[in-house]
Structure 1
Amino acid sequence: MSATEPLARDEESADRWDQVREMPPSAKLVAKVLDYNDTLTQSQLAEETLLPPRTVRYALTRLEDADVVNSRFSFTDARKRLYTLNV
């Protein structure tokens, strides 16, 4: 293992978050919570982040527009969408 390998990993990690850096704090928080949890619904994100549902909805819209988050319908409840991080 060379001395440049850890640096290369840090740069990779930094590059993957470049799309999120210029976003509002709420979008950054939602992205980070999704980074720690594989898949969450909007209500679970609101619960985890302690943000109002409307703010979470706005953050998810911004993240989806930037292709940072993927969403799909829940198989157990088609009224809900499941969100996963795409970076």
Structure 2
Amino acid sequence: MSASDIQSADTDSEYESGGWEAVRDLPPSAKLVAKVLEYNETLTQGQLAEETLLPPRTVRYALSRLEEIGVIESRFSFADARKRIYTLQVE
């Protein structure tokens, strides 16, 4: 195993664990959404759009990117089942 294989294995495990290292390589909008979720325990997509001042479509894209790397968790809202609530899952 070469040094580059070891480094890529380390990077892969960071992405799988969903740490801040994985967020670092995402677009600025996804980083902003992650930071807002860090300071606010749970938010809906609409609340995230209000807090970040990003268009809803951009927030949707950021959330999908964050879900891909496993740093956020989503669940249905008990108050309104049409909405999802997002929570940051970074250590």
Whether these two folds match at TM > 0.5 is: yes
Mark the runs of 5 or more structure 2 residues left unpaired by the alignment.
1-18
Q: Which runs of 4+ in 1 moved over 6 A?
A: none
1:23-50 alpha-carbon deviations (Å, 9 max, x no partner)? 0000000000000000000000000000
Mark the runs of 5 or more structure 1 residues left unpaired by the alignment.
1-15
1:37 corresponds to which residue?
40
State the percentage of identical aligned residues: 76
Q: How far, CA to CA, are the matches of 2:58 and 2:87 in structure 1?
A: 17
Note the aligned Cα RMSD (angstroms): 1.2
1:48-81 alpha-carbon deviations (Å, 9 max, x no partner)? 0000000000000000010011000000100000
Q: How far, CA to CA, are the matches of 1:62 and 1:69 in structure 2?
A: 10
TM-score of the two chains, using structure 2 as the length reference: 0.78
Q: How does 1:7-46 map to 2 (within 5 A)?
A: 16-46=19-49
